Amino acid sequence: MQQKIRAVMLEEATLTTGDISTALFDTAADVVRYPLTKAEDVPLRLKGAEAAIINKTVFTAQVMDKCPTLRYIGLCATGYNNVDIKAARERGITVTNVPAYSTEAVAQHIFSFILYFSDKTAQYDAFVKDGGWQRSPTFSAFPFPTEEIWDKVLGIVGFGRIGQRAAEIARAFGMKVIAATRTPKEVPGVEFTDVDSVFERSDFISLNCPLTDETSRLVDARRLSLCKSSAVVINTSRGGVVDEHALAVALCDRTIAGAGLDVIEYEPMRADCELMSAPNCIITPHTSWAAVETRERLVRVAAGNLLAFVQGTPVNVVER
């Protein structure tokens, strides 16, 4: 029987709080698990290991050089900006990711933000529990204006799987959909346009693009100035896509009506993040991908990636 390779899971706590199992990885390798790993401890923990199972651990060329036995980096994520892919390829290290595992959960989260701002559910819950309804002289109390999302414009920046799923849901709600993407497609009910037009015309703007040199600070003061004063910006992609200072100013100045953010530039959030005190800014702690079913799917695919590598037929290899 062939001996299993040695694998080290450097960030198990980013996958589970104990509510799901990571035992599937054990079918492919002898796995050593750590809840979290500091950057300076990575080479020591990978000493003698052939595979690293990671989420956000940064792998530069320098880190790889300190891990001479490493042959595989398995990302438990879709994004791979934390790994120097070119350096890995030069060193013969295979890097895999998990594409599309979170599409449904993230698209759902986008609409939780849209419905939050449209229906004012949280405000009305607080109003009722504060006795507001009991004091109402009429059977229906509506001090906070709500709005239908039917016929509103959802603008999507980035039209990969999540953007496409968000468009489908929007169409089911009767929304109009416009999108900006590097690779326009023929999609019924979706109008493709440029990024500035998305900001000018949309009632809700959903950011679903990867963080690259081209998209860094894509949402800046100039683009925010193009928006309707009633517009809401939603970011479930990467925090660096947004200039956080410009967004905070736009919210304070009422240039836009609100923002729903699941990601920020520095995670975990720093105490001095300007967006903490910005009005009408709803922030969730990077949880759009974290539904139980979603994480279970992630583990299944990531463990399958490791097994395929061990068997000599790697899949989901990041090539660029």
Cis peptide before 279 (omega within 30 of 0): no
- Residue 34 above 90 pLDDT? yes
- Residues of the chain with pLDDT > 70, as a percent, come to 99
Token pair 């009633």: residue: 230
Could you give the C-alpha distances from 206 to 93, 132, 248, in angstroms and in order? 35, 33, 17
Helix axes 121-129, 103-119, angle to 10 degrees: 50
How confident is residue 136, by pLDDT bands cut at 50, 70 and 90?
Answer: very high
CB-based burial, 26-55: b 16+ in 10 Å, e otherwise: eebbebeeeeebeeeebbebbeebbbbbbb
* Residue 40 annotated in active site: no
In angstroms, the first-to-last Cα distance of the chain is: 35
- Residue 1 above 80 pLDDT? no
Q: What is the DSSP string of 157-190?
A: E--SHHHHHHHHHHHHTT-EEEEE-SS----TTE
List beta partners, residue 30.
6
Segment 258-297, tens digit of pLDDT: 999 999 999 999 999 999 999 999 999 999 999 999 999 9
The alpha carbon dihedral of 68, 50, 100, 260 has a sign of negative
Please give the pLDDT value at position 2: 60
109-119 mean pLDDT = 98
Segment 221-262, tens digit of pLDDT: 999 999 999 999 999 999 999 999 999 999 999 999 999 999
The alpha carbon dihedral of 138, 140, 144, 149 has a sign of negative
- Residue 79 above 90 pLDDT? no
How much is the pTM?
Answer: 0.93
Q: Residue 261 contacts by C-beta under 8 Å, 6 or more apart in sequence?
A: 234, 235, 239, 242, 275, 281, 282, 283, 284
Segment 139-176, tens digit of pLDDT: 999 999 999 999 999 999 999 999 999 999 999 999 99
Alpha-carbon distance 260 to 281, whole Å? 6
65-92 mean pLDDT = 96
Query: What does R_g of the chain's alpha carbons equal in angstroms?
Result: 22
* Residue 286 annotated in active site: yes
Please give the pLDDT value at position 119: 98
Catalytic member of 267, 270, 293, 300: 267
Catalytic member of 223, 238, 295, 297: 238
Alpha-carbon distance 216 to 276, whole Å? 21
Please give the pLDDT value at position 203: 98
Catalytic member of 109, 201, 286, 295: 286
Q: Residue 41 contacts by C-beta under 8 Å, 6 or more apart in sequence?
A: none
Domains located in the chain, CATH noted: 5-101+292-310 (3.40.50.720), 103-283 (3.40.50.720)
- Residue 184 above 90 pLDDT? no
Q: Residue 156: which H helix or E strand, with range?
A: strand 153-157
* Residue 6 annotated in active site: no
- Residue 286: alpha-carbon gap to chain centroid: 7
